């Protein structure tokens, strides 16, 4: 039966269908072979954030300087403990100078990504630098230990913002094919500053005043602000009214995350040092903090329309494993560097200045490895390979550091151990960020920013927990060894005067003021130094454990290579329909 005129298919219709099908196939092919990133989340496109020439150089330089000063203050205060304790006669609160900085830096970090989407990267970073500078001014002018701790809290708030925004800006400024060099420069500034902290702090403390450990941030921070204002001109967000900006932030998420993490970290900080682990002052914040954090996770991943941590950070295994490897690497880094400084200053009796020189092999190896890694990544496009190499060096280096160093270890061996650890650090930082960014969901606006913020959050959380747990282990082991040794001496028989002297020994005060150890009788002095060495070794074993965990997690990072320039989409027209998830990048 012949078709009616209405049912007949005109040849032109067939050609039109073929053309549409061919166009769809072409889009799928492009989608699978080309790499592009999600929109910036504020109505602008990722490609609009890219910079070249003078603007790029000034922006990266300002980010380098801002990252340097914020990282410097993580370790610079370790050399001021004795001077500050003597100045304010308040050694019991010395430990808070570190915790007061790390806790706010870690807890507020995930929020800065959302703030940067709502209010723009430039103004968020400028605000962070200003807050950090204010904290530095308060720290330098402090007239009491409580005032100094307050200044450190404000510094931590600013430092978390600086580190988060710097990573976001250097990532957005160039396409991913050229990103290894820019990330390496910031990773380099962070690593060098963290290691140089004791060196610079020692120089100021012994030659000038401990207050200059805070004052130095003021002119350097002002330089970073000037360069940022001069060179960084990102596209403006499409929404300008305050209500539209505030809708980008889930304030319930913010409250639950901040309160939960603060309680958890404060409880862990108290535990084992100030109070026993089963004390109510430790258990209550840990339990309530844990409950609030669980509630945050449920709200963030189930009911929030603007989650602080996007679900893909947890559900994409390669992304989560790479970020967790970064968590472990940073925990190892801060725990190891902190107790290497204790080893140099207390066990070897080196000055704060000399301990900085002792760390030079670590600084040089981190620097050279980070530069080499950027070059190798650029030309080979491999990321996971170098991630695993760095992890292997971390295990070897930390094994030697934790098991071999003692009061009689030759300097040549110490230098070799530190070089191995430095190679591990030089490979790990940028590999973590690149691995996670390559797995960021490309159809979700702002995913590059939120993934980058998540990586920083995991790093800061790892560093905070690493130092806190290492400190607890060091104090517990050292104090138990001192107490056990004193009991053995008493059992062998002592005079009433010696018994009175032994009973007055305060192990925790000796740890906070190592110079006071030298005034003890020779046998007690030997006991204390031996106990401290055991405590240091146990803290370094923790760093080794984190190194092993980092290597294992790096095995599950993405196998993808960094795309070539030709494979990176430089157009604002993404080859997929709005709202649909593109096929994964296949190369």
Domain boundary among 233, 259, 283: 233
pLDDT on residue 392: 92
**226 against 190, higher pLDDT:** 226
Q: Is the pLDDT of residue 9 over 60?
A: no
Structural tokens at position 459: 């790093």
pLDDT on residue 580: 45
Give yes or no: residues 140 and 259 share one domain.
no
Give yes or no: residues 369 and 396 share one domain.
yes
Q: Is the pLDDT of residue 533 over 80?
A: yes
Of all residues in the chain, what percent carry a pLDDT higher than 70?
A: 82
* Average pLDDT for 429-446: 83
pLDDT on residue 320: 94
**567 against 8, higher pLDDT:** 567
* Average pLDDT for 383-409: 90
Give yes or no: residues 182 and 259 share one domain.
no
Of all residues in the chain, what percent carry a pLDDT higher than 90?
A: 22
* Average pLDDT for 67-85: 80
Give yes or no: residues 328 and 477 share one domain.
yes
* Average pLDDT for 547-569: 84
pTM for this entry: 0.82
* Average pLDDT for 280-306: 90
The reply to whether 126 falls in a domain is yes
Output b/e per residue, 421-453; b: 16+ Cβ within 10 A: bbbbbbbbbbbbbbbbbbbbbbebbbbbbbbbb
What's the rounded Cα separation, in Å, for the pair 529 and 343? 10
Tens-digit pLDDT profile for residues 123-179: 999 999 999 999 999 998 988 888 998 999 999 999 999 988 998 898 888 888 778
Q: Is the pLDDT of residue 32 over 70?
A: no
Structural tokens at position 209: 């005043």
Give yes or no: residues 257 and 362 share one domain.
no
DSSP result, 101-167:
HHHHHHHSHHHHHHHHHHH-HHHHHHHHHHHHHHHHHHHHH-SSHHHHHHHHHHHHHHHHHHHHHHH
How buried is 534 (Cβ within 10 angstroms: 0-12 exposed, 13-18 middle, 19+ buried)? middle
pLDDT on residue 182: 81
The reply to whether 76 falls in a domain is yes
* Average pLDDT for 180-208: 79
Give yes or no: residues 220 and 335 share one domain.
no
* Measured CA angle at 553 (ends 550, 559), to 5 deg: 125
Could you tell me the residue range of the domain that residue 215 belongs to? 44-233
Q: In which band, very low, low, confident or very high, does the pLDDT at 7 lie, cut at 50, 70 and 90?
A: very low
Give yes or no: residues 364 and 291 share one domain.
no
CATH number of the domain enclosing 52: 1.20.1250.20
Range with the poorest average pLDDT among 26-35, 160-169, 372-381, 548-557: 26-35
* Average pLDDT for 29-53: 70
Give yes or no: residues 373 and 459 share one domain.
yes
Q: Is the pLDDT of residue 70 over 70?
A: yes
The reply to whether 527 falls in a domain is yes
Tens-digit pLDDT profile for residues 475-528: 888 888 877 877 776 666 665 566 666 665 655 666 666 666 666 667 777 777
* Average pLDDT for 556-581: 63
Q: In which band, very low, low, confident or very high, does the pLDDT at 66 lie, cut at 50, 70 and 90?
A: very high
Give yes or no: residues 383 and 527 share one domain.
yes
Contact (Cβ atoms closer than 8 angstroms) between residue 423 and residue 393: yes
As a whole number, the mean pLDDT across the chain is 81
What's the rounded Cα separation, in Å, for the pair 54 and 248? 32
**263 against 36, higher pLDDT:** 263
Domain count, the chain: 3
Domain boundary among 305, 336, 369: 305
Domain boundary among 208, 233, 258: 233
Give yes or no: residues 355 and 291 share one domain.
no
The reply to whether 140 falls in a domain is yes
**Stated length of the chain:** 587
The reply to whether 186 falls in a domain is yes
The reply to whether 544 falls in a domain is yes
Give yes or no: residues 520 and 438 share one domain.
yes
What's the rounded Cα separation, in Å, for the pair 42 and 121? 10
Q: In which band, very low, low, confident or very high, does the pLDDT at 376 lie, cut at 50, 70 and 90?
A: confident
Among the listed residues 284, 16, 35, the one whose alpha carbon sits nearest the alpha carbon of residue 179:
35
The reply to whether 206 falls in a domain is yes
The reply to whether 19 falls in a domain is no
Structural tokens at position 241: 């009214």
Q: In which band, very low, low, confident or very high, does the pLDDT at 74 lie, cut at 50, 70 and 90?
A: confident
Angle, helix 179-207 to helix 53-75, in steps of 10 degrees = 40
pLDDT on residue 354: 80
pLDDT on residue 6: 46
Contact (Cβ atoms closer than 8 angstroms) between residue 43 and residue 238: yes
pLDDT on residue 458: 92
pLDDT on residue 236: 79
Give yes or no: residues 294 and 322 share one domain.
no
């Amino acid at each position: 039966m012949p078709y009616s005129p209405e049912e007949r298919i005109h040849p032109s219709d067939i050609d039109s269908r073929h053309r549409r099908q061919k166009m769809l196939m072409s889009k799928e092919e492009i989608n699978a072979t080309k790499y592009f990133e999600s929109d910036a989340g504020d109505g602008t496109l990722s490609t609009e954030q890219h910079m070249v020439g003078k603007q790029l150089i000034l922006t990266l330089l300002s980010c380098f300087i801002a990252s340097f000063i914020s990282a410097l203050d993580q370790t610079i205060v370790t050399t001021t403990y004795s001077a500050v304790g003597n100045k304010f006669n308040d050694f019991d609160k010395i430990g808070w100078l570190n915790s007061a900085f790390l806790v706010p830096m870690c807890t507020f970090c995930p929020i800065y990504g959302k703030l940067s989407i709502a209010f723009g990267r430039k103004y968020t970073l400028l605000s962070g630098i200003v807050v950090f500078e204010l904290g530095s001014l308060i720290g330098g002018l402090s007239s009491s230990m409580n005032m100094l701790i307050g200044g450190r809290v404000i510094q931590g708030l600013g430092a978390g913002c600086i580190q988060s925004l710097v990573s976001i800006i250097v990532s957005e400024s160039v396409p991913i094919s050229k990103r290894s060099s820019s990330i390496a420069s910031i990773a380099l500034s962070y690593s060098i500053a963290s290691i140089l902290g004791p060196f610079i702090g020692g120089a100021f403390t012994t030659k000038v005043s401990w207050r200059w450990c805070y004052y130095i941030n003021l002119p350097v921070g002002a330089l970073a602000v000037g360069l940022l204002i001069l060179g960084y001109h990102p596209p403006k967000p499409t929404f300008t009214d305050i209500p539209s900006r505030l809708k980008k932030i889930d304030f319930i998420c913010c409250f639950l995350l901040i309160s939960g993490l603060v309680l958890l970290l404060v409880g862990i900080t108290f535990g084992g040092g100030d109070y026993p682990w089963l004390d109510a002052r430790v258990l209550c914040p840990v339990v309530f903090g844990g409950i609030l954090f669980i509630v945050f996770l449920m709200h963030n991943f189930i009911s929030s329309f603007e989650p602080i941590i996007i679900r893909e950070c947890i559900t994409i295994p390669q992304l989560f494993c790479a970020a967790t490897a970064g968590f472990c690497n940073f925990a190892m880094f801060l725990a190891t560097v902190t107790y290497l400084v204790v080893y140099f200053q207390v066990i070897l009796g080196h000055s704060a200045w000399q301990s900085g020189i002792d760390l030079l092999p670590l600084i040089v190896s981190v620097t050279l490895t980070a530069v080499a890694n950027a070059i190798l990544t650029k030309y080979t496009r491999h990321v996971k390979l170098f991630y695993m190499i760095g992890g292997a060096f971390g295990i070897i280096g930390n094994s030697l550091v934790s098991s071999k160093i003692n009061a009689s270890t030759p300097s040549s061996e110490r230098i070799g151990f530190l070089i191995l650890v430095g190679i591990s650090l030089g490979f790990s930082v940028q590999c973590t960020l690149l691995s996670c960014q390559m797995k960021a969901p490309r159809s979700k606006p702002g995913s590059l920013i939120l993934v980058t913020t998540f990586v920083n959050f995991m790093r800061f959380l790892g560093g905070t927990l690493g130092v806190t747990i290492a400190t607890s282990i060091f104090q517990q082991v050292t104090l138990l060894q001192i107490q056990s040794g004193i009991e053995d001496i008493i059992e062998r028989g002592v005079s009433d005067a010696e018994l009175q002297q032994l009973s007055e020994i305060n192990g925790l005060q000796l740890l906070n003021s190592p110079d006071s150890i030298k005034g003890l009788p020779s046998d007690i002095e030997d006991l204390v130094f031996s106990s401290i060495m055991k405590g240091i070794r146990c803290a370094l074993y923790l760093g080794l454990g984190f190194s092993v965990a980092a290597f294992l997690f790096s095995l599950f990072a993405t196998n993808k290579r960094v795309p070539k320039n030709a494979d990176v989409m430089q157009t604002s027209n993404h080859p997929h329909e709005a709202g649909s998830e593109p096929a994964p990048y296949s190369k």
